[in-house]
Amino acid sequence: MPVFVEAIMVVLIMLACFFGVFLLLFLFALALFPVEKSLSKMVWDMTAPPRTKQAPQGGFKGFSEKHRS
């Protein structure tokens, strides 16, 4: 085989290997996305301040008197 044909084949094989590894890493990240999402939610829930429950204010009685302009 001529040298330039071998050089072109080597370059094409190297490019194919590069994009193959990129594709495998992309698929790996895509497969691990649900795990990362659940871990992130767990961390945010642990670091968030506890929610305070508000007591009901008593309904609509006297609403119009409180909010007159």
Residue 19 has pLDDT above 90, yes or no: yes
Residue 55 has pLDDT above 80, yes or no: no
**Rounded to the nearest 5 degrees, what angle is found at the Cα of 43, between the Cα atoms of 39 and 49?**
150
Handedness of CA 25, 31, 32, 33 (dihedral sign): positive
pLDDT at res. 5: 95
Q: Given pLDDT bands bounded at 50, 70 and 90, which one contains residue 48? A: confident
Structural domain of 24: 1-48
pLDDT at res. 59: 65
Radius of gyration of the chain (CA): 31
The answer to whether position 3 is within a domain reads yes
Residue 51 has pLDDT above 80, yes or no: no
The answer to whether position 58 is within a domain reads no
pLDDT at res. 56: 61
Model-level pTM? 0.54
Cα(66)–Cα(59) distance, integer angstroms? 12
The answer to whether position 54 is within a domain reads no
Number of domains in the chain: 1
